[in-house]
Structure 1
């Protein structure tokens, strides 16, 4: 009996020891805090989101900065930015992220390697601009009132923000959980378009839906002379627009400040009256009573427009005078009047004359003497042919040639902005917008 009692005690002690060991083993797992979120989990939902690698941008734009003598270019070099960032504890070698509503709000998140240095950096900044404090969620937030900026940092990230939703943005950052990534960021980061670019912007704004687009993406590229904005547009439904191999066009004038040339196969597009882009064009046309349906029925996909330079047209002027007996008489004179150079050409099918009739009926095109006016255009010569319609201010038509690319030119305050449609696929459009940096410097105003 004594042996049996001792055995039971030993068994009980062994079970207690095993239970204690098991408890000690699983205790850290039962009561361990949730794993901390990463930077992506802290980013807020927004219409426009993007990423950037500041050091790579500095390296790429270095030749552009120095060739064009951009002010303070020595402060935008790779080495200077890296040294300054390390000095204030910011991990500038990691990817940064930004967001915006496209109007009055934007912000950026960057990683932090030593938060204890950030306040020293802000103290140095305060020598040049006033910085005040405010408290949000019991956290200290720096505010630069003159710029409308907020600065908030924690041990592993920093937020710079401008807008009216600072409490919401900081709340999302503070209370985020691991894997709690917002929908717009998840879609953007999974997308492989422009994956090797230094700065990429993504938008799935509801404002794109009226054009039939699901989302848009933009990326930056540059050399020593030009800056290029590469674009990508995506639709969930077929665009029903194709590229033409070639079509009629005017030879581009060197004096043009505005120009557009497109060659498209729209045979399927104009059949889809419920297409969001088609409906948007109709809506715009209604503002001036434009016969959009008649235009698409007649248009064969080629369009060329140019504006620039000066043309002189003969304009008849009627003046009132009096004869020798003081009876009122009309005196008709012809004056040469300077007008902006203007030319328009588009291809048509067998419904071209029907379109012209509709334009006259709606008052879009009017005739005065031997000249025509398209809404508020200068006096134009009109040339209607079986396969094309041309209008121009010059005495004779600009030289007609063939073209295949879809491109345009817009001179903005003296700077030529060029844009191209590089590729047009079933649901995708690749394009680019390019301008010369030197023309922005305005006669050396920004140089030193």
Structure 2
């Protein structure tokens, strides 16, 4: 009879094989942009095939394939759980700064597996794939069904990845499910039930140009832009309209402590704050010329309870003082804040399982960055993130802890096993 103890024993026995799979997946470079994940997708397909599992490829963009597969339990009447993860990664800016043969080495130093994407999020995706294999092997013991979606295009918006899968077929899409687990980096001390939104804007300032010596003729586009940027910081004083139950949750000292522990001091405050960051700035031909045009981009992070429309209204009021400036919204990169219930039965199973594996009960947190879980939550589908520590995510020298990866496989597998009525 299949039990969770038998599953844990199988994970322990086969862990070297699972570790090799993660290393191979990291070595299949898939930086986004440009977003070509064909090699990584082949690694996934080969691994599934080696365990007797066939999968379909859905590729609205040929270089961005999505791998999907599913199975029914012995009793089909239960809920449908979706395992969701992406295989595209951040690009690499400084390849010479990496040890162990470069950014895609997959090197095992017996403590960590090194390489771009190990943390975000190939370890989490690999854990979900392995969990799917272990669960399908025991399908007859489960009540409900399980789907696996291994997607591309997460790093650049999800239009051709998770979002595409959910939109095709509408409510009948087999990849929607009743609840979702995702292995994005967040730390095993937390379960992410929501995340801040993004509002990406492009500002263009146009003024009269000229020689730098004739300052009396024009302030210059860059000067106007600098003054506008300073005014945009007013947005950070805007407060969200947070539901009372969520405000009480985020005020819990245990939640605040976990947020600061995982993501750094001050995180508990930032979770409920609006933040403004100005990224690329383009303006000016040379130092002694008054520039006619300056273009800059702003990344505004919206806490739960604050709508983009409220922020835009404030920005439009600011722009009344800057007739030289205009603004446009980057629609594809702008998404509302989102969250789901902290009390869903599946969330409780994830928490119980994690506590049993790690000895510490995770707290429910919202994420600072975006994940594909937002697309499920927009549809009213509860989606929860539990993955490895985010500490080296996107950095030169990105590496995932081996014990965390092993624990993550167990958590993803047993959380679904228990939720779908597997034998204990």
Tell me which protein shows more helix as a share of its residues: 2
Tell me which protein shows more strand as a share of its residues: 1
TM normalised by structure 2 equals: 0.24
Compare CA radii of gyration and give the structure with the larger one: 1
TM normalised by structure 1 equals: 0.24
